[in-house]
Amino acid sequence: KDWISFSHMSVDRSIFPFDSWFSCEHRALRLSRLELNDDSSRFPQGIYSVRKTIARFLSVARGVKCFPEQIVLGGGTQFLFYLLRHLFQENSLYAMENPGYRRMYESLKMESLRLKTIPLDNKGISIDLLKQMNPNVVYVTPSHQFPSGVVMPISRRIQLLNWAAEKDDRYIIEDDYDSEFKYESDTIPSLQGLDSYERVIYLGTFSKSLLPGLRISYMILPQQLLKRYREKCSFIMSTSNALGQLTLQQFIDSGEYRKHIKHMKQVYIERQKKLIETLKKRFDSAITMHGANAGLHFTAEFDTPRTIDEIAERAHAAKIELYNLKPYCLEDHYLYSKPAFILGFANLSVDKIEEGVERLYHAIFE
Ligand SMILES: Cc1ncc(COP(=O)(O)O)c(CN[C@H](CF)CCC(=O)O)c1O
């Protein structure tokens, strides 16, 4: 039998419009010879016309307000975050959500920056604990908290923005990852779009909506940090490849991007509904699900005497690709009362769901 994937790490390449991507790349090659053979030193922030396209798309899709000048394109969110850290005061205190994005936690620790982790409540990062810890920079994933899936409601967003506005050296890094996919409520505007004190740095990526291998991510700097960026970092060449950028621009400007997102939402909503239904039917009250009304994964706790490691082993033996929440509990303290897992459906076709849930049940209970 072949593998069945509950992974949140991958996207379903079978629905990526390779043909239209290819014709966009062909057009980019034909139309943008100048930008292509120009060394990217002239575009440390990425090609201007591409940034214009992204600024336009973000204002419609996420209510983000920015000029193309404020956008910095980079080859991955981690690299952009690395650049960003050089714009803040030397001994800034950083804070991030726990459970949270382990790769961000590790990269902050690698730089031995002062770092605190802040637990979540049912509205996202705990504002009371944030006030207690009083960091300078807080990294949040409000659209679909990673990995728990909590969607930060507008009330908490306002509280967060008011907190940041109280002091000059406070910033919010909004990682809007996985924001393209909302199922119940309509899209809640980004923190960046609600921010009137220039406290929010917006991080975005095309890894989820297009392909992770593209390595086209971007950050939007408020004016004051943009000034500091230009003073300190303008010698750094763009790390996002020009042909990828120009193809992306064709793909967005031609309307293909909007069409693709719409198609993916239809495919994913159907999978998500079917997966939740099948899990409820099979596991009944032994499963508790969280964070399912957005993104391409949700989390589930299972009421079982088995340990996470035993389940992970049996899942592997049953050929299901499954990630548990232990690595995302930062500071190595497990935050859940029962074995908890990430259930992704981006790479789980509808016809595999019954079999996948059956194998999962076997790994957890039989
Ligand atoms: C919270 C969060 N912000 C951004 C990215 C995107 O980064 P980039 O492709 O470099 O733009 C990811 C990507 N997450 C990866 C794939 F899902 C790894 C997940 C894991 O480490 O579990 C992410 O989780």
Structure tokens at 307: 């340990």
Question: Whose CA is closest to 82, among 74, 90, 92?
Answer: 74
Q: 281: CA distance to ligand 1 center in Å?
A: 31
Burial class (CB in 10 A: 0-12, 13-18, 19+), 28: buried
Q: 102: CA distance to ligand 1 center in Å?
A: 9
Instruction: Report the pLDDT value the prediction gives residue 234, as an integer from 0 to 100.
Output: 85
Instruction: Report the pLDDT value the prediction gives residue 13, as an integer from 0 to 100.
Output: 85
Q: 208: CA distance to ligand 1 center in Å?
A: 8
Ligand 1 mutation target, pool 83, 207, 299, 347, most atoms within 8 A of CB: 207
Protein residue whose Cα sits closest to atom 12 of ligand 1: 177
Q: 109: CA distance to ligand 1 center in Å?
A: 17
Question: Tens digit of pLDDT for each residue in 20-65?
Answer: 999 999 999 999 888 888 776 678 999 999 999 999 999 999 999 9
Strand 114-121 versus strand 124-125 pairing type: antiparallel
Show Cβ contacts of residue 78 under 8 Å, excluding neighbours closer than 6 positions.
103, 104, 107
β-bridge mates for residue 251, sequence order: none
Relative to the CA of 79, which ligand 1 atom is closest?
Answer: 10
Q: 10: CA distance to ligand 1 center in Å?
A: 10
Q: 291: CA distance to ligand 1 center in Å?
A: 17
Strands (DSSP E) contained in 210-282 are: 217-220
Burial class (CB in 10 A: 0-12, 13-18, 19+), 122: exposed
- CA distance linking residue 225 with residue 298, whole number of Å: 34
Show Cβ contacts of residue 74 under 8 Å, excluding neighbours closer than 6 positions.
46, 80, 83, 217, 218, 219, 238, 239, 240
Instruction: Report the pLDDT value the prediction gives residue 41, as an integer from 0 to 100.
Output: 66
pLDDT in tens, the chain (366 residues): 999 999 999 788 899 999 999 999 999 999 988 888 877 667 899 999 999 999 999 999 999 999 999 999 999 999 999 999 999 999 999 999 999 999 999 999 998 899 999 999 999 999 999 999 999 999 999 999 999 999 999 999 999 999 999 999 999 999 999 888 888 777 789 999 999 999 999 999 999 999 999 999 999 999 999 999 999 998 898 899 999 999 999 999 999 999 999 999 999 999 999 999 999 999 999 999 999 989 999 999 999 999 999 999 999 999 999 999 999 999 989 999 999 999 999 999 999 999 999 999 999 998
- CA distance linking residue 80 with residue 347, whole number of Å: 27
What is the residue type of 287? I
What is the complex's ipTM, to 2 decimals?
0.98
Structure tokens at 197: 């004190």
Show Cβ contacts of residue 280 under 8 Å, excluding neighbours closer than 6 positions.
287
Q: 264: CA distance to ligand 1 center in Å?
A: 19
Ligand 1 mutation target, pool 12, 84, 103, 179, most atoms within 8 A of CB: 103
Protein residue whose Cα sits closest to atom 16 of ligand 1: 9
Protein residue whose Cα sits closest to atom 15 of ligand 1: 9
Q: Render 281-350 in DSSP notation, one character per residue.
A: HHHGGGEEEE--SBSSEEEEEE--SS-HHHHHHHHHHTTEE-EESGGGSGGG----SS-EEEEE-TT--H
The set of protein residues with a Cβ atom below 6 angstroms from ligand 1 is 8-9, 76-78, 101-103, 141, 146, 175, 177, 205, 207, 212, 217
Residue 111 DSSP code = T
Protein residue whose Cα sits closest to atom 21 of ligand 1: 103
Protein residue whose Cα sits closest to atom 22 of ligand 1: 9
Ligand 1 mutation target, pool 77, 80, 322, 345, most atoms within 8 A of CB: 77
- CA distance linking residue 63 with residue 245, whole number of Å: 22
Nearest-5° Cα angle at 266, 261 to 272: 115
